[in-house]
Structure 1
């Protein structure tokens, strides 16, 4: 097989191994998405979604004051001047007469006048009956306030406001059912009267005859699940109130200024004039999405007449195409939106592993979600933010935790298979490549070139016969610990302890792609053998005065092809190294056991010598027939490093 094909096959196997945990992501996505949808359906996320809506309202650019409107507010100072509340019929009649002289297009009186107050009632009735004057009433006149009895119903609108459970006005009720039948809102009556001068009259939408259309604006009523609402009371004909700004919606003057004539005629002529109370003591003030804004005061409230002005401005802008009305996705689209972000959270948790990377990726994902929702909001779209945000975060966290646990489990498997006798550098490399190495909890067989290292104690049986088992164990552990340290220092792996010896391997479990790497493994093995000889000399000197055995060891080293991987059954396995190379190394170690020139005999073959790069002094033993091998091999005894004296 060509090298390029082998590389592509390796990449394919790696990709497939990374997909093994995708069912975990699917389960997490399905479970969390289903739970969120259920929680959302019962309205448990509505308060958070409304909070997000208010935040968006405060963050978007504000529109300048509406030049088509003038507000005349009844302030605390006005009440002191009038020394009366409610205002007398005479005072209101005088105000309306002065305004009519300035030729307004519409006058909206947001004051109840259902019965006479003071004198000159006939003068007030005369003014209220002017065709451009709109008065107010309550929807329910039994519990509320009736309209002025002398005024035509076409010149009266209800001023009731819809207040959400948290006390904030976010909706604009255009039509309602009263005891007399269908009723228009105060703001809608005022807007229709003004738009009539522009040739814009109410009509049914071409797409849906049940929807009101004014000019370019089609007023699609709110549904129970529109935007962030869940199971909202949608009685009447409601739309979402698109506030113009949190600052004064239009030019505002006081009642005293208006009565004194301190009004520029340009402020009134052809405009809409709204009259209402703004004094906080009159309690006609409401919370709006702007209420928590620090720039407007911690608990800023908006007067009722200002809220109606916001509604009038919204209707006028929609009819003229100046501002969009809010739109919403269908329930199915919103559920799909939530599912997509939940899936993205699971994907981020699956792809990234490092805690810092997961955190940063999560922050970027939530930022992208927030930016997307705010972008749509600026274009009139109110789409869920909290539900997909929770779905993204919870799935990200769940998958990241599960992946962390899975990583811990994989680490346990690797350590169980390779044992604790692995150099730190090798352990880090193994852990970084665990997706490639681990398949179904096992290390699949890998063909590679490695250097095998066998060590055994000469005459161990007779030594064991003379020592107590506990003393024998302690003495042997002292020897093997010293040898193991030399193996680990040179990036070798101790595959197994053989009672009175050990088997180590240099060059596993990751295949070596370059000849230089294979040669370095062989050199490390021989250096380890020479270091073991030095440690043995030190140990013998230490043991002799303690009455412990002074020993000799044999080492066999061979470099060649092996297969490395999990060996065993379902419930028990170990990391196995198989191949003829292992047998040759073992035969070298046990060859002619009585032929022991010094305390540490180190035998290698031509295959290992080829990789030593002439760095070690060796002694040829000729071509030997090893036990169980049909062909002879060239054997050499390692003497010392060439830089030694």
Structure 2
């Protein structure tokens, strides 16, 4: 397996797995967590001084000794605020029923304040309940306080417009506050062409949330929603208490011409949600009035300051972004440090979100991670395969070395021992010395032959230091050259031969690799050497290499002293074992049997269709 395939295959598998998981929505929670983290890490923005939050906190409730806050206290608060001439006031407290004492006073204030916006709840909750608006406020001065919660009960989206149970289109409190504030600046709220839920302030189009925006998959996008671009600051707005307003412990310019939001900031009222996207101090929650402040600030800042909405790419471009990073990861895994790619992805995704572009970061990260793991496993597997190959190559070298030693020095030693042991023959000192010299030469040639074969990798077959055969030639031609070389050797069995029958015809070489060719050559060399060394009084030698009935046949037949008459055990030694192993690899058969009336038949047969696919 090539390095390129090792790098590409895990990447392709990772892409398919992660893309499928994303389409099924399995990665949404991870993507939202990454989004929240990036949102918290953004550089700090300045406080939006156009908005003031009047938070009725726990101390206020303790001093009033009443909850809900009585209408009289709300009326007193509103009149005090109105004396400072705010641009608009949002009362983020339900007042669908009287909370005595002081209901008449509050009703009077509702009728007097034309820049006041109250709240209602238009979408039924789990129990099917809704909350009606304050009865003394006209519809244009009422906005809903309904919110969209995620599965983890966090707020990332703002609902700006929706239909109530009577199928009437209603605006949110935040949108109404921004609408009134911007109207004084001659900027009005309008519709968007070809989008029944789209809205804009002048030329500034509100980027509407869609079901697959950013990291969301098939989310509920009913009504007119937008992603909340929380102001990046641990204290994004100025917050004062009810007591500070009523006792006028504030600066007039905090209120004059500003947007005022009144709501509960006491933990006991439980008007809060957990937040992961804002830089809140502990405890990690954000009050409902603060979220409305963020949404209102987002709307007016987009119009007046060109502060962008959170944007996302279309689905096609998001998946192209994911696959592009996967390709970069596959490429970088081969070219430079893989962690650099991961860090680059995270940094670029963060920078893009700072500029209000939310692109998927978890899917490409997972692809890079899985690709990295897959590449490591593939590399380990390749290393194991490489180790096996090296072991097999070393084993092959060992076998080849033994072949060379067996067919050279060991055969000379065997011949010398046979002559010494044979009482009918005497070896002269000169002949003995000649044999020793030949043995010395053969031993010195072993190293060179083994080195040559191991370096060239078996493409050539070495019969001796001087004789090299190209194994890529037709096998019958190679075998003929083996026969010619061996028959020239000074073996006693060859000296008595009078009839030599030789036939080398083309064989079926299908599935015959270099290693098998090498072994077949060694087989013929071994068979011929055995005749020359052990077949005494041989007068006829027949060497056949042909095809017969779909089978390849290599047969060496002599009429010398047959194997049943030979006491030497070398015939059942390493050479025989090699021949049996070769026959198994070829899917064929090896036979060594007696010839009639005397002699030996050594035969190897196989069919090219049955050759085993061995790993070399």
Report if TM-score (shorter chain) is over 0.5: yes
Q: Do structure 1's residue 145 and structure 2's residue 145 form an aligned pair?
A: no
Query: Structure 2: how far apart are the matches of 1:168 and 1:216?
Result: 31
Task: Select between 399-408 and 57-66 the one with higher mean Cα deviation.
Answer: 399-408
Shift of the 336–311 alpha-carbon distance from structure 1 to 2, 3 Å rule, reads same
Aligned residue in 1 for 2:359: 383
Report if aligned partners of 2:190, 2:199 keep a CA contact under 8 Å in 1. Answer: yes
Aligned residue in 2 for 1:585: none
Match of 2:413 among 441, 445, 460: 460
Report if aligned partners of 1:175, 1:238 keep a CA contact under 8 Å in 2. Answer: yes
Matches within 5 A, 1:536-547: none
Match of 1:213 among 200, 211, 227: 200
Shift of the 500–310 alpha-carbon distance from structure 1 to 2, 3 Å rule, reads closer
Query: Structure 2: how far apart are the matches of 1:497 and 1:45?
Result: 70
Q: Do structure 1's residue 505 and structure 2's residue 451 form an aligned pair?
A: yes
Query: Structure 2: how far apart are the matches of 1:407 and 1:127?
Result: 82
Match of 1:296 among 281, 292, 296: 281
CA deviations over 1:557-588 (Å, ceiling 9, x no partner):
67x999799999556717979xxxxxxxxxxx
| Structure 2 unaligned blocks of 5 or more | 399-406, 422-441, 458-463, 476-508, 520-616
Report if aligned partners of 1:71, 1:275 keep a CA contact under 8 Å in 2. Answer: yes
Query: Structure 1: how far apart are the matches of 2:15 and 2:22?
Result: 10
Aligned residue in 2 for 1:195: 182
Task: Select between 313-322 and 74-83 the one with higher mean Cα deviation.
Answer: 313-322
Report if aligned partners of 2:88, 2:259 keep a CA contact under 8 Å in 1. Answer: yes
Shift of the 457–500 alpha-carbon distance from structure 1 to 2, 3 Å rule, reads farther
Aligned residue in 2 for 1:264: 251
Aligned residue in 2 for 1:108: 90
Shift of the 185–502 alpha-carbon distance from structure 1 to 2, 3 Å rule, reads same
Report if aligned partners of 1:225, 1:331 keep a CA contact under 8 Å in 2. Answer: yes
Aligned residue in 2 for 1:312: 296
Query: Structure 2: how far apart are the matches of 1:419 and 1:467?
Result: 35
Aligned residue in 2 for 1:366: 342
Report if aligned partners of 1:318, 1:325 keep a CA contact under 8 Å in 2. Answer: yes
Partner SS state of residue 95, structure 2: coil
Shift of the 79–570 alpha-carbon distance from structure 1 to 2, 3 Å rule, reads farther
Task: Note the C-alpha offset of 1:322.
Answer: 3.3
Report if aligned partners of 2:397, 2:454 keep a CA contact under 8 Å in 1. Answer: no
CA deviations over 1:622-641 (Å, ceiling 9, x no partner):
xxxxxxxxxxxxxxxxxxxx
| Structure 1 unaligned blocks of 5 or more | 1-17, 423-453, 469-495, 512-555, 578-645
Aligned residue in 1 for 2:116: 133
Query: Structure 2: how far apart are the matches of 1:414 and 1:565?
Result: 23
Partner SS state of residue 129, structure 2: coil
Aligned residue in 2 for 1:243: 230
Shift of the 410–276 alpha-carbon distance from structure 1 to 2, 3 Å rule, reads same
Match of 1:91 among 55, 61, 73: 73
Match of 1:330 among 284, 309, 314: 314
Shift of the 508–146 alpha-carbon distance from structure 1 to 2, 3 Å rule, reads same
Aligned residue in 2 for 1:573: 515
Partner SS state of residue 311, structure 2: coil
CA deviations over 1:196-251 (Å, ceiling 9, x no partner):
11111112336857521114531132121111111212122111000003522211
Question: Which protein has the larger Cα radius of gyration, Structure 1 or Structure 2?
Answer: 2
Shift of the 570–118 alpha-carbon distance from structure 1 to 2, 3 Å rule, reads farther
Task: Note the C-alpha offset of 1:133.
Answer: 0.4
Shift of the 273–200 alpha-carbon distance from structure 1 to 2, 3 Å rule, reads same
Query: Structure 2: how far apart are the matches of 1:210 and 1:235?
Result: 9
Q: TM-score, normalised by structure 2?
A: 0.66
Report if aligned partners of 1:63, 1:244 keep a CA contact under 8 Å in 2. Answer: yes
Q: Do structure 1's residue 402 and structure 2's residue 384 form an aligned pair?
A: no
Task: Note the C-alpha offset of 1:464.
Answer: 5.7
Task: Note the C-alpha offset of 1:302.
Answer: 1.0
Report if aligned partners of 2:301, 2:307 keep a CA contact under 8 Å in 1. Answer: yes
Match of 1:62 among 44, 50, 59: 44
Query: Structure 1: how far apart are the matches of 2:68 and 2:193?
Result: 45
Aligned residue in 2 for 1:163: 149
Matches within 5 A, 1:430-441: none
* Corresponding residue pairs, total: 450
Report if aligned partners of 1:128, 1:134 keep a CA contact under 8 Å in 2. Answer: no
Query: Structure 1: how far apart are the matches of 2:179 and 2:15?
Result: 45
CA deviations over 1:395-428 (Å, ceiling 9, x no partner):
2322342243234324433443454769xxxxxx
Task: Select between 252-261 and 208-217 the one with higher mean Cα deviation.
Answer: 208-217
Deviation above 4 Å: which 4+ runs of structure 1? 20-27, 206-210, 418-422, 463-468, 496-502, 560-572, 574-577
Aligned residue in 2 for 1:609: none
Task: Note the C-alpha offset of 1:31.
Answer: 3.2
Query: Structure 2: how far apart are the matches of 1:79 and 1:498?
Result: 106
Query: Structure 2: how far apart are the matches of 1:499 and 1:322?
Result: 87
Matches within 5 A, 1:165-184: 165-180=151-166, 181-184=168-171
Report if aligned partners of 1:455, 1:502 keep a CA contact under 8 Å in 2. Answer: no
Match of 2:329 among 345, 348, 363: 345
Report if aligned partners of 2:409, 2:443 keep a CA contact under 8 Å in 1. Answer: no
Query: Structure 2: how far apart are the matches of 1:346 and 1:195?
Result: 51
Match of 2:273 among 276, 286, 302: 286
Partner SS state of residue 573, structure 1: helix
Query: Structure 2: how far apart are the matches of 1:240 and 1:42?
Result: 22
CA deviations over 1:143-188 (Å, ceiling 9, x no partner):
0321011111110111122111011111111011112311101111
Partner SS state of residue 239, structure 1: strand
Matches within 5 A, 1:520-559: none
Aligned residue in 2 for 1:593: none
Task: Note the C-alpha offset of 1:344.
Answer: 3.0
Query: Structure 1: how far apart are the matches of 2:417 and 2:32?
Result: 81
Task: Note the C-alpha offset of 1:373.
Answer: 1.0
Partner SS state of residue 211, structure 1: strand
